[in-house]
Amino acid sequence: MATYATMVDSLNVGGGRLLPAHLVTAVTVRPTHRRRGVLRAMMTRDLRRAKDAGLALAGLTASEATIYGRFGFGAATSAAETRVDSRGGLEFTASPAGSIAVADNSKLLSVAPEIYRAHLQGTFGALGRQHGYWMRASGAWSEETSEPDKALRGVIRYNQDGIPDGYVTYKSLGWQTDPHTVKITDLVAASDEAYRELWRYLGSIDLVERLTFDVAPVADPLPWMLADRRRYSGSGTLVLTVRDPLGMANGVWQLDAHGGTGIVHPAEGGTVPAGAEAVDIDIAALGSLYLGGVSAPTLAAAGGIRGSRAALDLTDALFTAGPAPYCSTMF
Ligand SMILES: CC(C)(COP(=O)(O)OP(=O)(O)OC[C@H]1O[C@@H](n2cnc3c(N)ncnc32)[C@H](O)[C@@H]1OP(=O)(O)O)[C@@H](O)C(=O)NCCC(=O)NCCS
């Protein structure tokens, strides 16, 4: 009658810290049983169990954006669809570094997970990946089925010390495509240099006229190929009155942030202390704010958070961690 699956994996929440997150996937209800509260019953029970198990965060990839706000989920990361005209090759301002080697499927299968682990550790917003990713990265599975994809190609990037720190897999969409297009199916870099060198490689493939990548970072350095990573972390005390229709995160919470570390505890007496900088926030807006992918004034304009300008500015200073969060993992 219905399916609903969950798993726990790591989310990079900034500063190299990984937090276990409760991930919800494979949500379906038979057309014959829709709109009778089946999803609501499954999700409410499951989120309650996850909370009781000590998991602070839940996440999902929504195929329909309108369904999950009522359960406390807000959009937290975005990805960009990149199209590059690579006729005549791509030129880079930085000099080449390290080396690139074509990798067969078994090599990719063994090396991709460890490269991804390094990417996860260093990429704000990145999420641990399930086994299917390695099967697809190696071509053992194709994108839609568990049949091998013989058209898939892949290369691994090695840094100056010979350590693999990036890979890209790609396939030609066929000579009949005009312009002749190569689709990047997965591109994982554990350093800015690896990211740059993988694009340099892609830009050097003969007879390719267009490169496409559907889960590029929004703050993509590709057009500039100069990493311009602002980083700052605010300090201060902010009181958040959280409104959660499921009642799981409701309450008045005090966030004390200093030197890049935040500690949250219930506000004394469950009330906003006099004179405190305070905001009133819907749980879905908190989900959007958590990785700093949206500013507090923008969320305020959208109606998800209420507070004085000073409180919204402090909210920004405490939640915005610098680069836009980037997550290329769907589940
Ligand atoms: C989407 C789906 C899982 C909903 O299951 P369901 O059992 O019919 O949902 P419920 O009856 O429990 O509804 C829960 C709430 O979501 C709302 N909702 C359900 N489907 C919705 C939709 N497609 N769009 C917007 N809201 C929806 C309901 O109105 C209800 O709101 P309320 O409780 O606040 O009144 C089901 O319709 C389905 O399997 N659809 C096809 C697959 C799919 O889209 N899966 C989502 C993958 S991310």
Q: Which tokens belong to 328?
A: 């290329």
Model confidence at 232, pLDDT cuts 50, 70, 90, reads low
- Measured over the CA atoms of residue 279, residue 281, residue 287 and residue 288, the dihedral's sign is negative
Centroid of ligand 1 to alpha carbon of 39 (angstroms): 6
Nearest alpha carbon, ligand 1 atom 21:
67
Distance CA 193, CA 138 (A): 23
Q: What is the mean pLDDT of residues 33-46?
A: 97
Distance CA 306, CA 201 (A): 48
Question: What ligand 1 atom has the least distance to the C-alpha of 28?
Answer: 39
Centroid of ligand 1 to alpha carbon of 58 (angstroms): 18
Q: Which CATH number describes the domain made up of 79-217?
A: 3.40.630.30
Q: What angle do CA 72, 42, 65 make, to 5 degrees?
A: 40
The contacts of residue 178 (CB under 8 Å, 6+ apart) are: none
Nearest alpha carbon, ligand 1 atom 1:
28
Question: What ligand 1 atom has the least distance to the C-alpha of 68?
Answer: 16
Question: What ligand 1 atom has the least distance to the C-alpha of 29?
Answer: 39
β-strand partners of 166: 157, 189
β-strand partners of 213: 82, 184
Centroid of ligand 1 to alpha carbon of 66 (angstroms): 9
Locate the domains of the chain by residue range. 2-60, 79-217, 236-319
Distance CA 215, CA 313 (A): 30
Task: Please give the DSSP secondary-structure letter assigned to residue 119.
Answer: H
Q: Which tokens belong to 211?
A: 């490169």
The contacts of residue 51 (CB under 8 Å, 6+ apart) are: 248
User: 3-state class of 207 per DSSP?
Assistant: coil
Work out the percent of the chain whose per-residue pLDDT is above 70: 95
Centroid of ligand 1 to alpha carbon of 4 (angstroms): 12
Distance CA 28, CA 121 (A): 32
Contact criterion met (CB below 8 Å) for 95 and 191: no
Write out pLDDT tens, residues 143-190: 899 999 999 999 999 999 999 999 999 999 998 988 899 999 999 999
For tokens 């505890």, what's the residue? 265
Q: Distance from CA of residue 50 to its chain's centroid?
A: 21
Centroid of ligand 1 to alpha carbon of 302 (angstroms): 23
Centroid of ligand 1 to alpha carbon of 35 (angstroms): 6
CATH 3.40.50.150 describes domain 2-60 = no
Indicate the helix (H) or strand (E) that contains 196: helix 192-203
Q: Which tokens belong to 26?
A: 């494979």
Check for a shared fold between 2-60 and 236-319: no
Mean confidence (pLDDT) of the chain: 91
Write out pLDDT tens, residues 67-98: 999 999 999 998 888 888 788 888 887 789 99
Distance CA 179, CA 272 (A): 60
In CATH terms, 236-319 corresponds, of 3.30.1050.10, 3.40.50.170, 3.10.310.10, 3.40.640.10, to 3.30.1050.10
Write out pLDDT tens, residues 258-311: 766 789 999 999 999 999 999 999 999 999 999 888 889 888 988 899 999 889
Other beta carbons within 10 angstroms of residue 181's beta carbon come to 17
- Ligand 1: residues with CB < 6 A are 27-29, 34-40, 62-64, 66-67, 70
Q: Spell out the alpha helix ranges (H) of 31-124.
A: 38-52, 105-122
Mutate to test the pocket of ligand 1, among 47, 67, 70 (most ligand atoms within 8 A of CB): 67
Centroid of ligand 1 to alpha carbon of 281 (angstroms): 24
Q: Which tokens belong to 14?
A: 């900034």
pLDDT at 224 over 90: no
Q: What pLDDT, on the 0 to 100 scale, is given for residue 324?
A: 81
Q: What pLDDT, on the 0 to 100 scale, is given for residue 229?
A: 30
Centroid of ligand 1 to alpha carbon of 158 (angstroms): 46
Question: What ligand 1 atom has the least distance to the C-alpha of 36?
Answer: 11
Q: What pLDDT, on the 0 to 100 scale, is given for residue 90?
A: 84
3-state helix, strand, coil in the chain (%, to 5): 25, 30, 45
